[in-house]
């Protein structure tokens, strides 16, 4: 599929998701060689009709040069002519007619990464390169539903990486965190952020660095990101759970306070701009053993518990995985806080490869940040970690987020990649 066709699908994603009848297209797209039957089954399993339509449009963009004309042809064959007319309007004049597509052999060994799109908010993946003059209302709606991300750099990204804790704190060294830090730094540099890395900060230095960042002039930037890698604990809160430890131990800093430095009342140049927080830390002392599937009933492990920052009720865990920390915040708009684990539970970190959460987040964002909105990316991170095959029979973990964004967020609104 060429760039023009792909952008056309992205631009008209909302009417496609709203009006498409995907069940009428499945057999035809298989017959034309665009999808295999297994791929169609995965699309069917994605949820409601809207979910299936959304997934079909997303996967269609990966299916090669024959996919778009086959899609148009199938729409016409099934009487969905309004969508055909809509898509044809955006094509160059010489491409507005199409000939029947010859069946082609599906890609061998292809298995798409599934995304959990079961959300009450339709995923809108659009760009501003193809704007039909006949639809000014839709154009304004789309622009208003997406955060502007055209600055270069997009904004600041502060990474606080607490690894070596004072012996008096009772908190152990966070082996593997430097790997997380390096990977996250490389990721956000690739995503065109000016990255600031701070290592081994005390509580007071953490507050100082956060307030310094909040006091910067963000006028020429679109976004601000804070990544915290540390130990943490539960904490009383109004909206969000958890708090973060400095390397000196003592009383942790509530994430509620951390986020408040950047809200509309305290950071004027970030008003109406997205503020994103990614927290790799434990949310408490509980461990999640998950529930056993039929295949797992007889696969129980018995490994020694590896004690670290917080005492838990764990009795077995892989020796390379350790518990980590959590977070909290008030309710201003344009803020998203993503947690590595469910409130009250520990978060696992591999000493040699880094934390489950950061490793997966970097992998998913690196592959798909130029294609999908932030919420879709985080859903894939959550699904990948919660279904972690390497943790079968051991402890489980499920990340989550508190989303106060008012629009869809895409890391790449212009062609930077």
Q: What is the DSSP string of 261-276?
A: TTSTTT-GGGTTS-EE
350: left (phi over 0), alpha (psi -120 to 50) or beta: beta
Look at residue 347 and tell me if it is in a domain.
Answer: yes
Q: Enumerate the β-bridge partners of residue 237.
A: none
Annotated catalytic residue: which of 282, 317, 372, 408?
282
Judgement on whether residues 65 and 172 belong to the same structural domain of the protein: no
CATH number (domain holding residue 221):
3.40.50.1460
Judgement on whether residues 211 and 129 belong to the same structural domain of the protein: no
**DSSP-based three-state secondary structure for 130:** coil
How many domains is the chain built from? 2
Contact 69, 8 (CB under 8 A): no
Angstrom distance (rounded) from CA 157 to CA 185: 9
Among 106, 141, 176, the domain boundary falls at 141
Judgement on whether residues 266 and 195 belong to the same structural domain of the protein: yes
Per-residue pLDDT of the chain (417 residues), as tens digits, is 677 888 888 888 888 988 999 999 999 999 999 989 988 988 998 889 988 998 898 888 888 888 889 999 999 899 998 898 888 876 654 444 444 434 433 333 333 333 343 333 333 333 333 233 344 433 444 567 899 999 999 999 999 999 999 999 888 899 889 999 999 999 999 999 999 999 999 999 999 999 999 999 999 999 999 999 999 887 665 666 788 999 998 889 998 899 999 988 889 999 999 999 999 987 544 444 444 444 443 333 332 222 233 333 333 344 455 555 433 334 468 999 998 876 656 667 778 888 889 999 999 999 999 889 999 999 999 888 877 655 444 666 778 888 999 999 999 754 444
Residue length of the chain: 417
Look at residue 107 and tell me if it is in a domain.
Answer: no
pLDDT for position 239: 67
To the question of pTM greater than 0.75 for the whole model, the response is: no
Judgement on whether residues 87 and 203 belong to the same structural domain of the protein: no
Angstrom distance (rounded) from CA 169 to CA 154: 37
Task: State the DSSP code for 48.
Answer: S
CA distances from 257 to 244, 296, 385, 404 (A): 10, 42, 28, 16
pLDDT for position 343: 63
pLDDT for position 206: 97
Q: What is the largest CA-CA distance in the chain?
A: 74
Among 141, 174, 195, the domain boundary falls at 141
Sign, CA dihedral 243-355-403-156, equals positive
Judgement on whether residues 55 and 196 belong to the same structural domain of the protein: no
Judgement on whether residues 74 and 213 belong to the same structural domain of the protein: no
> Per residue in 43-77, pLDDT tens?
998 889 988 998 898 888 888 888 889 999 999 89
Judgement on whether residues 232 and 287 belong to the same structural domain of the protein: yes
Judgement on whether residues 130 and 205 belong to the same structural domain of the protein: no
The parent domain of residue 44 ranges over: 3-96+116-141
pLDDT for position 397: 77
Judgement on whether residues 67 and 178 belong to the same structural domain of the protein: no
Look at residue 203 and tell me if it is in a domain.
Answer: yes
CATH number (domain holding residue 80):
1.10.533.10
Helix (H) or strand (E) holding 339: strand 335-339
For residue 153, cis peptide bond before it (omega within 30 degrees of 0): yes
Annotated catalytic residue: which of 231, 237, 372, 408?
231
Instruction: Identify the CA nearest to 359 among candidates 368, 372, 367, 350.
Output: 350
Concerning whether 282 is annotated as a catalytic residue, the answer is yes
Can you give 351-400 as a three-state secondary structure string? CCCEEHHHHHHHHHHHHHCCCCCHHHHHHHHHHHHHCCHHHCCCCECCCE
Q: Which two tokens stand for residue 278?
A: 């990614």
Judgement on whether residues 92 and 164 belong to the same structural domain of the protein: no
Look at residue 109 and tell me if it is in a domain.
Answer: no
Angstrom distance (rounded) from CA 8 to CA 71: 13
Contact 242, 159 (CB under 8 A): no
């Amino acid at each position: 599929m060429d760039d023009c066709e792909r952008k056309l699908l992205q631009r008209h994603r909302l009417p496609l998701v709203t009006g498409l009848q995907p069940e009428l297209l499945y057999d035809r797209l298989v017959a034309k060689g665009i999808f295999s039957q297994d791929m169609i089954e995965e699309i069917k399993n994605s949820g409601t009709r809207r979910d299936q339509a959304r997934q079909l449009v997303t996967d269609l963009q990966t299916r090669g040069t024959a996919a778009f004309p086959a899609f148009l042809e199938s729409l016409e064959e099934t009487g969905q002519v309004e969508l055909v007319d809509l898509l044809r309007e955006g094509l160059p004049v010489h491409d507005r007619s199409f000939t029947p597509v010859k069946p082609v052999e599906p890609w061998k060994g292809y298995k798409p990464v599934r995304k959990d799109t079961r959300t009450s908010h339709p995923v809108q993946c659009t760009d501003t390169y193809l704007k039909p003059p006949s639809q000014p209302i839709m154009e304004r709606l789309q622009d208003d539903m997406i955060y502007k991300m055209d600055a270069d750099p997009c904004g600041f990204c502060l990474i606080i990486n607490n690894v070596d804790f004072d012996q008096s704190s009772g908190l152990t060294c966070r082996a593997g965190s430097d790997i997380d830090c390096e990977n996250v730094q490389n990721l956000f540099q690739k995503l065109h952020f000016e990255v600031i890395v701070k290592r081994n900060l005390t509580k007071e230095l953490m507050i100082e660095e956060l307030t310094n960042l909040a006091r910067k002039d963000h006028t020429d930037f679109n976004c601000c990101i804070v990544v915290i890698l540390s130990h943490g604990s539960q904490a009383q809160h109004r909206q969000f759970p958890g708090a973060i430890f400095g390397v000196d131990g003592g009383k942790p800093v509530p994430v509620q306070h951390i986020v408040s430095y950047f809200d509309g009342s305290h950071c004027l140049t970030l008003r109406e701009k997205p503020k994103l927080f990614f927290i790799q830390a434990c949310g408490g002392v509980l461990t999640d053993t998950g529930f056993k599937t039929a295949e797992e009933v007889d696969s129980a492990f018995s490994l020694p518990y590896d004690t670290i920052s917080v005492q838990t009720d764990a009795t077995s865990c892989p020796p390379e995985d350790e518990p980590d920390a959590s977070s909290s915040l008030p309710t201003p708009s344009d803020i998203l806080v993503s947690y590595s684990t469910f409130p009250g539970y520990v978060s696992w970190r591999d000493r040699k490869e880094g934390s489950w959460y950061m490793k997966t987040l970097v992998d998913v964002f690196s592959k798909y940040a130029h294609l999908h909105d932030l919420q879709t990316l985080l859903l894939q991170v959550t699904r990948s970690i919660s279904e972690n095959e390497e943790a079968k029979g051991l402890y489980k973990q499920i990340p989550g987020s508190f989303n106060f964004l008012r629009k869809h967020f895409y890391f790449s609104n212009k062609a930077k990649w």
